[in-house]
Amino acid sequence: MDRRDFLSLGGAALAAFLAACDSEGPRAAKGALEFASRTNQDVEEALFRHLTMDHVKRGGRLAGDALPRYYVSPSVPVWDPSIRGAWKLEVGGAVANPLTLDMKDLRGLPSVTHRVNHYCVEGWTALTEWTGVRVSLLAKLAGARPDAKFVDFQSFDSGYHESWDLASALHPQTLICYAYGGALLTPGRGAPARLHSPVKLGYKSVKYLTRIVFLPHQNGGYWTDRGYEWFAGT
């Protein structure tokens, strides 16, 4: 192959590459990307350790009000008791005794207040302080069955939900939170209660919670169905 051959071949390859591109790159690469994505999920699950904790920097400054407010509805989702009745959190699915907790029940459970990082998929982090109940405690109270391998967290924010692998959901730093920075959640922060954990990227931490469903199968999620990675562990 002389130089001219090489150049023309290279040019043809480049043209073919560009022609096969949509905005996300060459379509032919889709299979390879999906394979890599599946492999990465296996690697992420293998790396996951139940007792590996997120640590925050000593003396770090809490993000406080600088933590962005975020929801997918056109306006802040607010639970209006006059329309929907009193807010309740259902814990169901593959469990022995389904629970229905109102805010009083939830706040009556043993709680955790901790400072952890919030890792956003966009690349920023925030030092945050949350108060809430461990998902692992709710799983124990509801008696999650052995066939429960995934947990789907559902909300009243226009159908926003995300399903998690059980191990990450039962991580000690995965909380159903009702307070942020020492004050009860405001509607902008996911009131009345939201999920938060440093072991997954922010979009997996569902706000405006209504139901926690233990499942034998994965159930995708709002961003997952739109092309973001499902596992999204940190």
The nearest distance, CB 137 to other proteins, in angstroms, is 21
Neighbouring residues of 163: CB distance < 8 A, sequence distance ≥ 6? 150, 151, 152, 153, 215, 218, 219, 220, 221, 224, 230
The nearest distance, CB 177 to other proteins, in angstroms, is 17
Using rule CB under 8 A, residue 186 touches other proteins: no
Main-chain phi, psi angles of 82, to 5 degrees: -70, -25
Give the residue, chosen from 12, 27, 68, 159, that forms a contact with other proteins under the rule CB under 8 A. Answer: 68
Using rule CB under 8 A, residue 124 touches other proteins: yes
Give the residue, chosen from 54, 112, 136, 215, that forms a contact with other proteins under the rule CB under 8 A. Answer: 54
Using rule CB under 8 A, residue 58 touches other proteins: no
Q: Determine the size of the site formed for other proteins (CB under 8 A).
A: 50
Looking only at residues 34 through 53 of this chain, which bind other proteins when binding is defined by CB under 8 A? 36-37, 39-40, 44, 47-49, 52-53
**Whole-number CA gyration radius for the chain:** 21
Contact segment (CB under 8 A) with other proteins among 60-68, 84-92, 131-139, 147-155 equals 60-68
Interface with other proteins by CB under 8 A: which residues? 3, 6, 22-25, 32-33, 36-37, 39-40, 44, 47-49, 52-55, 57, 60-68, 117-127, 198-199, 223, 226-229, 233-234
